[in-house]
Structure formats: C-alpha cells, structure tokens
Chain A
Amino acid sequence: SQQGEEDPQALSIQEGENATMNCSYKTSINNLQWYRQNSGRGLVHLILIRSNEREKHSGRLRVTLDTSKKSSSLLITASRAADTASYFCATDPFYSEGGKLIFGQGTELSVKP
C-alpha cells in the first residue's frame, strides 16, 4: 500500500488565507518531500526535509516533520489563486534501491480569488 497518506483529500480556501496539508507515513525514512502538480502536468519538487530536521522554510512554504509520529505538514501562507494544484508528499525510505520515492494520494487545493 502507499506509504504516504494525505489529509485532507481536498481543500478550498480564499486567496490570502493559509493552507495546511498533512501527511502520515509508516516506515523509517531518509527524508520527506513535497511536490506540486498542476492539472494534467508532471510533478514539481517543492521542498525536502531530512529526517533529522524538524522544520524548514522556502518562501511562503513551511514544512514540519515529526518522526516520532511519522507525520509532516505543509503550510502555504498568504495563498494565491496560482497555488491551485494538487500537492503530494513523498517519502524516501531507507535502503531504497534506485532512489525510489513513495508518493501519497495527494491533496487537491483550490484557492478562490
């Protein structure tokens, strides 16, 4: 089964509001990553947080990681209509041959102008 489980599956907010998405996983990891996918396009890497890090920032993105709870959250602050997309967490498990990542089911974010 997929390692990453995201919550919520869909999120609708107004422009300017913050969006928070959560991800849970099951096994030990090297790192956890977040990707974004615009409709019908490929995924784009947003941010990586290592297993020994607890929080990381990149622009309007803030990611937290709690390895004791095997969970992560992605916060997008001051959202814009252009942030409308699906967001996926991906875990990089230990002893992964070929650098395989395990993707979650994704959260569909809709930001209304």
Chain B
Amino acid sequence: ETGVTQTPRHLVMGMTNKKSLKCEQHLGHNAMYWYKQSAKKPLELMFVYSLEERVENNSVPSRFSPECPNSSHLFLHLHTLQPEDSALYLCASRQRLGGGQNIQYFGAGTRLSVL
C-alpha cells in the first residue's frame, strides 16, 4: 500500500452517465495529480492541484471536471464520456524531499470502461 487510495477500482459506465472517481491520501502531501493511462500510450498528466489550487489543466475536455475540496481529497467528475475515454485513471500525491526534490506516490488506479 502506498497510502494513496482510489475508489472505485473498476467502473463501467454508459456515455450518458455521471460518475465520480475519488482519491484520498493522509500522507500530509500538498499536491495531487490525475493521470490517464491508455494501452500502449505514455502516462498523460491531466490535472495538477497544489495547495488545493489547480495549477495545471493539460487541455483536458470539459467532460472531465476535477475537484479538490482539501489537501487530502481529490475527485474527478465524469459526464457524457466517450468510448475513447476508457483507460486506467491514476491519482498521485507529491512528497517533498530535501533540496527541492519531489517524488510521487500513486494509487492503484480506477479501471474505467465507457460503453
């Protein structure tokens, strides 16, 4: 266990559904990330939250809506998704090391299938 918990682990949804992915960490980290991992593609950074403020949105379609109510929780709200949005969605949090170095702790991911 990395200390980053994602729920649900698996999700099947239709294109008209609305669902949310949840990520939780109690490691005291103050930055959190959403990534999309599709088969045979590099990890795609979707959103970055630092101190609960969104600092990056990598041209993600508006059908993905992130929410960070506090430094321990991160949500990804999904609506009217497309089949090509089927992927493994990973959440991560940042640990600051000395000397300005950072590493990331990842959750186990949510495997999303859009029918």
A contacts, CB < 8 Å to B: 2, 30-31, 33, 35, 40-45, 48, 50, 88, 90, 92, 97-101, 103-106
Q: Find out whether the CB atom of A99 lies under 8 angstroms from the CB atom of B94.
A: yes
The count of chain B contact residues (Cβ–Cβ below 8 Å) is 32
Given contacts A40-B109, A43-B92, A92-B102, 16 further A-B pairs with CB under 8 A are A30-B100, A35-B106, A40-B88, A42-B2, A42-B90, A50-B99, A88-B43, A90-B104, A92-B101, A98-B33, A98-B49, A98-B50, A98-B55, A98-B56, A103-B43, A105-B41
Residues on A with beta carbons closer than 8 Å to the beta carbon of B97 = 48
Q: Give which listed residue, B45, B55, B105, contacts A45 with CB less than 8 A.
A: B105
Q: Find out whether the CB atom of B101 lies under 8 angstroms from the CB atom of A31.
A: yes
Q: Find out whether the CB atom of B111 lies under 8 angstroms from the CB atom of A40.
A: yes
Q: Find out whether the CB atom of B106 lies under 8 angstroms from the CB atom of A42.
A: yes
Residue on B nearest A42 in the bound complex, by CB: B106
Q: In the docked arrangement, what's the CA distance between A3 and B105, Å?
A: 20
